[in-house]
Amino acid sequence: MRKIERTLVIIKPDAVVRGLIGEIISRLEKKGLRIVGMKMIHIDRELAEKHYAEHKGKPFFEPLIDYVTKAPSVVMVVEGRYAISVVRKMAGATDPKDAEPGTIRGDYGLDVGDAIYNVIHASDSEESAKREIELYFKDEELHEYCKAAEWFYHSHWDKDKGEYLDSTRCLDV
């Protein structure tokens, strides 16, 4: 019922140059997810090839590498209840023309380059999330904290005592 997961999110170069960094971060924050790691990097060819190794040999592999190395990206580790599937749903279908309105790709993407330019990357499984987080972040670049309202979800109001119980519990990762 409460499975706390971490997932890798990348605000891809098309979104960075279009000025969408804030919009995307804002959606993740408002959903109730915690950003526990974040940095801007210009992904180089070596890193891009490692990240997208599963697509090596496919016709869109070279255009994909050119796309993600074309300008800086913002990479984030995002944490929360069922974060992996939740963020995939928020991202929407791979091709922004098929992505539902209300999703990030559905709301902010349409045109494509040689590869499908689609604003955001989000890990697709526990296994990929672990691999991708390790690829982009060192342990010491990830942080633990509670968002200000989280005490509310994980505490109980004791009517008799007139106080909150368990009010410090928010991170049972």
Ligand X SMILES: Nc1ncnc2c1ncn2[C@@H]1O[C@H](COP(=O)(O)OP(=O)(O)O)[C@@H](O)[C@H]1O
Active site residues: 121
SS3 content of the chain, % helix, strand, coil (to 5): 40, 20, 40
Q: Which is nearer to ligand X, 130 or 154 (CB)?
A: 130
What stretches of the chain adopt beta strand conformation (E)?
Answer: 4-11, 34-41, 73-81, 120-122, 156-158, 163-165
Binding of residue 94 to ligand X (CB under 6 A): yes
Residue 151 DSSP code: H
* Inter-residue contact 51 to 129 (CB < 8 Å): no
Contact with ligand X (CB under 6 A) among 35, 47, 116, 142: 116
Nearer of residues 38 and 115 to ligand X, judged by Cβ: 115
Contacts of 16 (CB under 8 A, 6+ apart): 40, 71, 72, 73, 74
Rounded Cα gap, residues 79 and 33, in angstroms: 6
- Confirm or reject binding of residue 121 to ligand X (CB under 6 A): yes
# binding residues, ligand X (CB under 6 A): 8
Q: Which stretch binds ligand X (CB under 6 A): 28-36, 117-125, 152-160, 162-170?
A: 117-125
* Crossing angle of helices 21-31 and 83-91, rounded to 10°: 140
Give whichever of 72 and 171 is closer to ligand X, judged by the CB atom. Answer: 72
Q: Is 94 annotated as a binding residue?
A: yes
* 60 scored as a contact of ligand X (CB under 6 A): yes
Given candidates 124, 131, 167, 171, which one binds ligand X under the rule CB under 6 A?
A: 124
Q: Least CB distance from residue 55 to Mg ion, whole Å? A: 8
User: Which residues are at the interface with ligand X (CB under 6 A)?
Assistant: 60, 64, 94, 115-116, 118, 121, 124
User: Which residues are at the interface with Mg ion (CB under 5 A)?
Assistant: 124
